[in-house]
């Protein structure tokens, strides 16, 4: 199995990451950003791009989003560009370039976006992906596909792969990579690909440069427990982006460092793989702790989670 370092995850400069000239000879091609200085000298850790769904809770403007991201010491954002998202698909042509420019003025980047696209017929799919490519966005996460209770797993797999085939062709033409995320069940909703074996089968036969995986260790732990590691090994050829949020084994989302994901050995695995692509930081827990949500508290939450995450990513 080739390591991710051989696949092109070894370091580019922070300026390359920021500036939007993000493509290298590999499909991953994204740069490490943060540099930590310690007793062992200087070490690089992957850049952190916050998933800005949390910003929607405060209804932040694009400019305010760029400001708080910079103040928190993060490197960029992963923006929801989807219905009811931070950027609405029907306004993407107008709003997304403005947002990216505001970020760049703060030396920030938007290396990936989160969409509701599941096939080439999804609303604004081709227009939005071509725009994203022009803006230097390398990855987009596909929308979720629910498991069909009235269809066999085999039948739905065939249907999904047929849809993905057309989407992968479009990705190749544009030069962008789509991502499937593993997601644990929510209430009565079961997500296609939440089981890592099913996810592996879904991406089999597709080039990783056009269809990869956004691996979420929190959801993997909820679904598979300690068995996640063996299943992840089979996904590595398509592994592109790490999603990080902490969770207790009983299923509650918590602040980074208060759950169980550090104990899994996942971050040691990322370091061993030479992972240097952006890490998408998700704030999914009740971060106001019963109080009123406001900018000052969100800034504190961002800084605290980023500090913990950088410690995990950069630890020897």
* pTM of the predicted model as reported, rounded to 2 decimal places: 0.87
Domains present along the chain, CATH in parentheses: 5-314 (3.20.20.150)
CB atoms within 10 A of CB 265: 12
Q: Kindly tell me the sign of the dihedral angle through the C-alpha atoms of 31, 105, 112, 24.
A: negative
With tokens 């080039």, the residue in question is 207
pLDDT at 6: 33
pLDDT at 91: 97
DSSP per-residue letters across 278-298: -EEE---S-TTTTS---HHHH
Using only C-alpha atoms, the chain has a radius of gyration, in whole angstroms, of 18
pLDDT at 43: 61
Nearest CA to 107 out of 63, 134, 76, 135 is that of: 76
Q: How far is CA 193 from the centre of its chain?
A: 16
CB contact set of 234 (below 8 Å; sequence gap of 6+): 196, 197, 200
pLDDT at 9: 36
Digitized pLDDT (tens) for each residue of the chain, 316 residues in all: 333 333 333 333 344 444 433 333 233 333 334 444 444 445 679 999 999 999 999 999 999 999 999 999 999 999 999 999 999 999 999 999 999 999 999 999 999 999 999 999 999 999 999 999 999 999 999 999 999 988 899 999 999 999 999 999 999 999 999 999 999 999 999 999 999 999 999 999 999 999 999 999 999 999 999 999 999 999 999 999 999 999 999 889 999 999 999 999 999 999 999 999 999 999 999 999 888 999 999 999 999 999 999 999 997 4
């Amino acid at each position: 199995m080739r390591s991710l370092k051989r696949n092109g995850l070894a370091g580019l400069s922070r300026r390359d990451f920021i500036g939007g000239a993000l493509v290298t000879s590999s499909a991953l091609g994204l740069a490490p950003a943060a540099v930590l200085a310690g007793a062992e000298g200087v070490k690089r850790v992957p850049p952190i791009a916050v998933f800005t769904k949390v910003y929607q809770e405060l209804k932040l403007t694009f400019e305010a989003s760029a400001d708080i991201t910079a103040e928190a010491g993060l490197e960029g954002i992963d923006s929801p560009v989807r219905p009811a998202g931070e950027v609405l698909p029907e306004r993407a042509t107008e709003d997304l370039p403005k947002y990216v420019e505001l970020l760049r003025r703060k030396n920030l980047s938007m290396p990936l976006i989160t969409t509701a696209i599941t096939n080439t017929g999804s609303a604004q799919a081709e227009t939005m992906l071509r725009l994203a490519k022009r803006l230097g966005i390398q990855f987009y996460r596909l929308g979720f596909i629910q498991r069909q209770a009235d269809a066999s797993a085999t039948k739905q797999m065939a249907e999904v792969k047929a849809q993905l085939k057309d989407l992968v062709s479009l990705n190749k033409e544009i030069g962008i990579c789509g991502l499937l995320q593993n997601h644990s069940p929510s209430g009565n909703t079961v997500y296609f690909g939440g089981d890592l074996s099913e996810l592996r089968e879904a991406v089999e036969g597709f080039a990783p440069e056009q269809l990869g995986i956004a691996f979420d260790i929190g959801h993997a732990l909820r679904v598979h427990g300690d068995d996640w590691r063996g299943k992840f090994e089979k996904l590595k050829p398509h592994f592109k982006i790490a999603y990080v949020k902490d969770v207790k084994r009983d299923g509650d989302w918590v602040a980074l460092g208060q759950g169980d994901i550090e104990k899994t050995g996942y971050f040691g695995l990322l370091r061993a793989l030479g992972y240097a692509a952006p890490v998408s930081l998700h704030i999914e827990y009740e971060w106001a702790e019963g109080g009123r949500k406001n900018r000052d508290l969100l800034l504190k939450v961002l800084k605290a989670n980023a500090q913990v995450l950088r410690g995990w990513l950069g630890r020897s």
